[in-house]
Amino acid sequence: MEDRLVIGGESLKSRLFVGTGKFASYDLIPAVIKAARAQVVTVALRRMDFGTPAENMVEYLPKNVILMANTSGARNSAEAVRIARIAREAGCGNWIKIEVINDQKYLLPDNFETLKTIEILTKNGFVVLPYMSPDLAAAKRMADAGAAAIMPLGAPIGSNRGLKTRELVEILVSEIKLPIIVDAGIGLPSQAAEAMEIGAAAVLVNTALATAEDPVLMAEAFAAAVEAGRKAYLAGPGASSRIAEASSPLTGFLDEK
């Protein structure tokens, strides 16, 4: 059976989600999405200028991807709900990534305001994927409120520092029945593979692609790493050990008695 990720009734082959901020040119985005083999792409509402096609990020997206609008810029639940509704009315569909951030230094998500947003939007038919600080109690409440997946940060957004929250993400993977998608902080393909190896259902990458010297080649590398990490997880890695253990017998050769 083919390994698929199912979210909101959609069956996805790709487990690499792509963000669209920070690129030097919108013209790069179609090639990056193709190289990443991404099926889900997130776009901030403020990058959707429907009156000026050349400045509208949506015009650069392939027609076969799922557009996941995000509520970037929202400081509380009321603002996030408003942004989500505007995005859907503008024709962006019902997938929404909730970002509620009122901390302007570290840009950490507000789990409490995010939970309030989930409770409202799920009742309005949205497929809700919340970006959150990895906390088990908060993740359980978000799942109970109707989230379609949980998206914990790997490190502060835009930092490219990797999976600094590894142990917390592992707890979410083991305790939450929804897909866990690592979002924010992943800077290298090896870090994406690490997230997949511990059981993350997918990763969302933006800054690492947009700031690479060759974003298209980096997207190819991330696609390969995510696939490799997923296969490693499904294969069931062997146990680690602090002492050496020979893979072949150390006796019975070279005339040893």
User: Rounded to two decimals, what is the model's pTM?
Assistant: 0.90
Is 253 inside any structural domain? no
Q: Judge whether 152 and 204 are in contact, CB under 8 Å.
A: no
Separation between Cα atoms, residue 115 and residue 122, nearest integer Å: 11
Is 245 inside any structural domain? no
Is 27 inside any structural domain? yes
Q: Per-residue pLDDT tens for 42-60? A: 988 766 655 666 567 677 7
Structural domains in the chain (count): 1
Is 244 inside any structural domain? no
Q: Is-catalytic flag, 34?
A: no
Is 220 inside any structural domain? yes
Structure tokens at 199: 């059981």
Residues near 255 by beta carbon (within 8 Å), at least 6 away in sequence: none
Structure tokens at 27: 């013209």
Ranges of the chain whose pLDDT falls below 70: 1, 46-55, 57, 248-257
Which CATH number belongs to the domain containing residue 123 in this structure? 3.20.20.70
pLDDT the model gives residue 142: 97
Show the domain range for 40.
Answer: 5-234
Q: Choose the catalytic residue: 97, 140, 164, 257.
A: 97
Is 165 inside any structural domain? yes
Is 62 inside any structural domain? yes
Is 227 inside any structural domain? yes
